[in-house]
Structure 1
């Protein structure tokens, strides 16, 4: 999604939150505060630890484990094919660094939608 689409989606979600009764709105913001993620933290984890720690930050444990495993195998076999494995992981992860704002924005919108769904059930 583009930044404009994400902003529009967030505005729609915020309008629904504002339509909630005061007590539910308060509960929503308490839940949101616990689950919302910071794009800068995601970017720092990606930049300094390209081994997949940024995936763990967003709860994508399987993808994070795969990246971490590949990076460790690459480091252990650095004198044979390890350097190639590390380069491949870095090439796959580098674009996520540049899209970190949108990735986390989309994640946070998804969290907001999930929390709203709890109040409508």
Structure 2
């Protein structure tokens, strides 16, 4: 998704949130605070640690585990061309570093959509 589409989607979600009752808004923002991720943290985890920690940060545990295993195999077999695995995983992860803002923006929009659905389907007391 391009940046403009992500911004438009976020704006649409914000408009839907504005239509919630005060009680629903309060509950929504409590949940949102727990779920929204910081793009800079994602980028730092990707930049400094090719270990897949940035995948764990967004809850993509399987992808993070695969990255960790490949990196560990590369380190353990560094004398037997393990450096090739390290280079390959680095090349695979490099584009994600440059797209980190968009990746996290999409993730946050998805979390906003999920949280909005949860709040609107919750019984009001």
TM-score (ref. length: structure 2): 0.95
Flag as ranges the 4+ runs of structure 1 deviating above 2 A.
none
Question: Per-residue deviation at 1:97?
Answer: 0.2
| Structure 1 unaligned residues grouped into runs of 5+ | none
3-state SS of the aligned residue for 1:84? helix
In the alignment, does 2:29 pair up with 1:16?
A: no
Question: Per-residue deviation at 1:57?
Answer: 0.3
Question: Per-residue deviation at 1:6?
Answer: 0.2
What pairs up with 1:1-121 in 2 under 5 angstroms? Answer: 1-121=1-121
3-state SS of the aligned residue for 2:51? coil
> In the alignment, is the contact (CA less than 8 A) between 2:55 and 2:64 conserved in 1?
yes
- Per-residue deviation, residues 21-71 of structure 1 (Å, max 9, x unmatched): 011011101100011100000000000001100000000000000000000
3-state SS of the aligned residue for 1:20? coil
Question: Per-residue deviation at 1:81?
Answer: 2.0
Aligned length: 121
Question: Per-residue deviation at 1:111?
Answer: 0.3
TM-score (ref. length: structure 1): 0.98
Alignment RMSD (CA, Å): 0.6
3-state SS of the aligned residue for 2:37? coil
